[in-house]
Structure 1
Amino acid sequence: MIKKISLGLLVLSLTTSCVSKKIYADLENKFTELKKENRKLADENDELNKSKNQLGLDGENLKTELAKTKAERDKLLADYAATDKNLKTLQASYSALEKNSDESLQANMNKNRELLAQLEAKEKKLSAEKERLDKLKAELDSSAKRLSELESLIATKDAGMKKLKETLTKSLKAFDGKGLTVHEKDGKVYVSMENKLLFQTGSWAVGDEGKKAVVAVAKVLGDNPDLSVLIEGHTDNDKFGGAVGGVENNWDLSTKRATAIVNILTENKNVNKQNLTAAGRGEFAPIASNDTSEGKAKNRRIEIILTPKLDEISKMLNEL
């Protein structure tokens, strides 16, 4: 897909004299940045899931090792008891044979020393196994605690995004049935606005009704300053026949429209501009078929994608 897009940009630069090298380079850089950002978010999400699964596996392995060590400890205790019993038996024999001969006495004494040495060795081994068991238990407890904290943090993030979706849905209720939808997917909240609510054909000027919707979104963003916000402009696949009203092509139009939404959002002084990113996707991310007028209408849209900051989760993963 990247090769096709790059080839399309090259052909466009050769065939359209109105597109300067700077505009081409800017668009290409924006595309590269968006691709990196998308890959980064996908990689972070994959790493979180992998780390969670790995912690689960580590916990199970530690439980298995703990059970094995307990079994070994029980066997050592049984051996210790049997050896102790033999020692007592030999001590009784020693007392009986002591009267008979010095030779028998010496033999029993040697045997006794041997058994005492064995008993001491088993006691040391039992102590070492107990120490290893305590260490394994401490590691298991620590891993379980970190896993619980990570799961709790992820659950808190999910609950926060669910609450954010409910807040946005309530704030934008007045626009139900006017081409605006709010939904949650993969830990992110998406606010999608069809062009019929925002723009006239070929224009990037936001109409009065559309501006009201964007202002309502900005108020929610102002109350949630820790969110990363990506504003994406999308078009259908209808091509421009050269520059129309200052618009070079679908890339240009979608970028201008995304930027127009950013400008309205930043009118709210509580919105953190550093968290905003404007992107033009052109016709290359459709959500419906462009073979029908209804599908094209759905594809002509602005998507505001809200993502929670993952700094705390990343820090916790680095400490594991």
Structure 2
Amino acid sequence: MIKKISLAVLTLGILASCVSPKVYKELESKYNNLKKENRKLADDNEILLAGKTNAENELKKLKEAYDSAVEERDHLKNEYDATRANLDNLKASYAALEKNSSAAIAANSKKNRELLAQLEAKEQALNAESERLEKLKRELEQRSNRVAELEKVIADKDMAMRKLKNAISRALTDFEGKGLTVEQRNGKVYVSMENKLLFESGSWAVGGEGRRAVQQLGAVLGENPDVAVLIEGHTDNVPYQGHGVLSDNWDLSTKRATAIVNILRENASINPENLTAAGRGEYAPIASNDTPDGRATNRRIEVILTPKLDELTELLNENE
């Protein structure tokens, strides 16, 4: 196109020297129009070239995307084909299993129903046992509380008896070494007084020193109204040789126990309901009767002090 315009310009120059002014102007006008058209065509050509470049770039991207999509499609297709093959194999295996195991499935179903029935029975038994255990647990807790209460009552009684024993020991200090002992055993206090401190041989009349000892014991007992007092009379095994109102050692031991009770009753602070007299004769010795010392030891009055267990009895009755 540029060559054509250059040729036209050259031709126009040649003609200008040969043509009239009017023709020249017409040619010049045509030249200018051609020149404008050439510029416009050049601009259009640039736009087209730029469009072409963009189109080529877009085409390249589309081709790359297409190739990637084809690759992904082929990959997916391969996975689909493999999955499809696995599915077909599984279907075939399932069909074979279903065909061959119908009887086994029926047997298993029956067994499952039986096991389910057994399980329900076990569950019911377990629930019943759980309820029983819960009831036993409550009862055990109640019993434990009762035992704790009983242990506390017993401990309190033991403490009270220890205090009583100490109080009696202090009250009877003057008679230590004179055939009097005080000890605590099995929750009870035992005050043992040999007959030589209390009585003349074969007599149940209490002497002056013995009376004083019993009265001092009674002073302590009067301050402890919750104690049961058992007075036991004991002799040795030598038969009673006296005459008159006594018949034997048992009778003598009872008279002596009663004599001690009568002295204690002189103390108005002692409740007579707490006193008991008993004769044991020679049938509860604490030493051998083969020696004079042993026989002297066996001839004794034992005052057995026992805490009243009314509270303990009530607790035990509540447990029944």
Following superposition, the deviation at residue 301 of structure 1 comes to: 0.8
SS in 1 for 2:192: strand
Contact map agreement 1:191 1:303 (CA 8 A) in 2: yes
**In the aligned structure 1, how far is the partner of 2:233 from the partner of 2:163?**
25
SS in 1 for 2:280: strand
Compared with structure 1, are the counterparts of its residues 132 and 174 closer, same or farther at alpha carbon in structure 2 (3 Å cutoff)?
A: same
Trace 1:250-269 onto structure 2 (pairs within 5 A): 250-269=249-268
The superposition leaves residues 38-83 of structure 1 with CA deviations (integer Å, 9 ceiling, x where unpaired) of xxxxxxxxxxxxxxxxxxxxxxxxxxxxxxxxxxxxxxxxxxxxxx
Contact map agreement 2:202 2:242 (CA 8 A) in 1: no
Give the corresponding residue for 2:276. Answer: 277
The superposition leaves residues 122-143 of structure 1 with CA deviations (integer Å, 9 ceiling, x where unpaired) of 9988877765554443233222
1:208 maps to amino acid: G
Give the corresponding residue for 1:161. Answer: 161
The superposition leaves residues 98-155 of structure 1 with CA deviations (integer Å, 9 ceiling, x where unpaired) of xxxxxxxxxxxxx9xx99xx7xx69988877765554443233222211211222222
Following superposition, the deviation at residue 264 of structure 1 comes to: 0.6
TM-score (norm 1): 0.58
**In the aligned structure 2, how far is the partner of 1:192 from the partner of 1:199?**
14
Following superposition, the deviation at residue 236 of structure 1 comes to: 1.4
Give the corresponding residue for 1:173. Answer: 173
Displaced runs of 4+ in structure 1, greater than 3 A? Answer: 121-137
Trace 1:189-200 onto structure 2 (pairs within 5 A): 189-200=189-200
2:290 maps to amino acid: D
Following superposition, the deviation at residue 251 of structure 1 comes to: 1.9
1:152 aligns with 2:170: no
Trace 1:96-245 onto structure 2 (pairs within 5 A): 134-243=134-243
Calculate percent identity across the aligned residue pairs. Answer: 62
SS in 1 for 2:290: coil
SS in 1 for 2:311: helix
Following superposition, the deviation at residue 248 of structure 1 comes to: 3.0
SS in 2 for 1:238: coil
SS in 2 for 1:146: helix
**In the aligned structure 1, how far is the partner of 2:206 from the partner of 2:135?**
64
Following superposition, the deviation at residue 158 of structure 1 comes to: 1.9
Compared with structure 1, are the counterparts of its residues 130 and 258 closer, same or farther at alpha carbon in structure 2 (3 Å cutoff)?
A: closer
1:306 aligns with 2:298: no
SS in 2 for 1:307: strand
SS in 1 for 2:229: strand
SS in 2 for 1:316: helix
Alignment coverage as a number of residue pairs:
214
Contact map agreement 1:202 1:247 (CA 8 A) in 2: no
SS in 2 for 1:182: strand
Unaligned runs of 5+ in 1: 1-110
2:298 maps to amino acid: N
Give the corresponding residue for 2:314. Answer: 315
SS in 2 for 1:192: strand
**In the aligned structure 1, how far is the partner of 2:232 from the partner of 2:238?**
18
TM-score (norm 2): 0.58
CA RMSD of aligned residues (A): 3.2
**In the aligned structure 2, how far is the partner of 1:183 from the partner of 1:162?**
9
Compared with structure 1, are the counterparts of its residues 289 and 142 closer, same or farther at alpha carbon in structure 2 (3 Å cutoff)?
A: same
Give the corresponding residue for 1:297. Answer: 296
Following superposition, the deviation at residue 247 of structure 1 comes to: 3.4
1:274 maps to amino acid: E
Unaligned runs of 5+ in 2: 1-108
**In the aligned structure 2, how far is the partner of 1:129 from the partner of 1:299?**
61
SS in 2 for 1:196: helix
Contact map agreement 2:230 2:305 (CA 8 A) in 1: yes
**In the aligned structure 2, how far is the partner of 1:314 from the partner of 1:265?**
27
1:191 maps to amino acid: V
Compared with structure 1, are the counterparts of its residues 132 and 206 closer, same or farther at alpha carbon in structure 2 (3 Å cutoff)?
A: closer
